[in-house]
Amino acid sequence: MHEYLDALLFDEKTPASQPESAPVAEKNTAELERLLAQATLRDQEQEQVQAKAQAEQAAAAKKQAEQQRLLELERQQEAEMAAQLEKQAEQTQGEALIDVPPPPVSNMENYKQGDFQALFFSVAGLKLAVPLKSLGGIHQWKEANTIFGKPDWYLGIMTNRDEKLNVVDTARWVMPEKYTAELAESINYQYLIMLGESQWGLACETLVTTESLSPEDVQWRKGEGSKRPWLAGVVREKMCAILDVDAMVDMLEKGLNSQD
């Protein structure tokens, strides 16, 4: 019986040796912490990727908005200039010359009798057109040699073979009231449009197209006594000014700009 009781006592005391399982618990805790750390790192990396994607999307949206704003601004400027040209054409009726001699007889009357071909070109967002029969030629742009004492719209002389061509800053000549330092910086002349058989050429940025026009397509200048003899009329559909080449050459020879 004593041995039995001793055995019972011995069996009850043996479990006290079980604390050896503590290292296993510590190992499991360390593994869990490692897994949690890895999960946290993956979450951080995913957040960084998402933040980068959102930043790129925001930058792209901002760039697109800026491009749209510039496009709308360009369209607005073209519309304003076209409206101004149309208004100028309407105001010419009944206007008398004061300090400008009467212009020479223009060949533009011939263009009112039937269809004619015209070259369309652009300068600083403004579209201009010259009848092909009044076109003296087109030259690639070369830097002009400046001559002092000339009007501000006179860029200088461009040499082409044996010819010396007078270069007109078209944007400054046609619309001096809108010519700013910012506009001047943005202009990139590429061609010289020669006026008839003269030595005068208009600097232009882009050759748009050649197209046939009928007299009905043009809102013609009314009256010969006009302050703007260079403006033969306006093609409403294309928001484009038709140049009276003969009258324009006469004004250039006299050192006048479009507003004189």
Residue 259 lies inside a defined structural domain of this protein: no
Q: Which residues pair with 194 in a beta bridge?
A: 137, 201
Residue 210 lies inside a defined structural domain of this protein: yes
Which ranges of 152-244 would DSSP assign to H, the alpha helix? 170-174, 181-186
**Which range is least confidently modeled, 48-62, 79-93, 181-195, 223-237?**
79-93
Which H or E run contains 196? none
Task: Give the C-alpha distances (Å, rounded to integers) separating 15 from 3, 10, 12, 23, 240.
Answer: 19, 10, 7, 17, 105
Task: Give the C-alpha distances (Å, rounded to integers) separating 41 from 49, 51, 242.
Answer: 12, 15, 69
Residue 182 lies inside a defined structural domain of this protein: yes
With contact defined as beta carbons under 8 Å apart, do 171 and 124 qualify?
yes
Q: What is the mean pLDDT of residues 238-260?
A: 92
Edge-to-edge strand list for the sheet holding 135-140: 135-140, 191-195, 200-204, 163-168, 154-160
Residue 40 has pLDDT above 80, yes or no: no
Q: What is the pLDDT of residue 184?
A: 94
Residue 106 lies inside a defined structural domain of this protein: yes
3-state secondary structure of 159: strand
Q: What is the mean pLDDT of residues 81-93?
A: 61
Most confident of 83-87, 90-94, 122-126: 122-126
Residue 45 lies inside a defined structural domain of this protein: no
**Which range is least confidently modeled, 9-18, 132-141, 171-180?**
9-18
- Give DSSP secondary structure letters for 53-115: HHHHHHHHHHHHHHHHHHHHHHHHHHHHHHHHHHHHHHHTTT---SSSPPPPPPTHHHHTTS-
- Read off the pLDDT band of 74 (50, 70, 90): low
Identity at 99, one-letter amino acid code: D
Q: What is the pLDDT of residue 81?
A: 67
Residue 8 has pLDDT above 50, yes or no: no
Residue 40 lies inside a defined structural domain of this protein: no
Name the average pLDDT for the chain. 82
Residue 68 lies inside a defined structural domain of this protein: no
Domain count, the chain: 1
Q: Are strands 206-213 and 116-123 parallel, antiparallel or unpaired?
A: antiparallel
Identity at 177, one-letter amino acid code: E
Q: What is the CATH number of the domain that holds 168?
A: 2.40.50.180
Span 192-219, pLDDT tens digits = 999 999 999 999 999 999 999 999 999 9
Residue 32 lies inside a defined structural domain of this protein: no
By residue range, what is the domain housing residue 96?
92-253
Span 16-39, pLDDT tens digits = 455 555 566 676 777 777 777 777
- Report the alpha-carbon distance of residue 38 to residue 27 in Å, rounded: 17
The whole-model pTM stands at 0.60
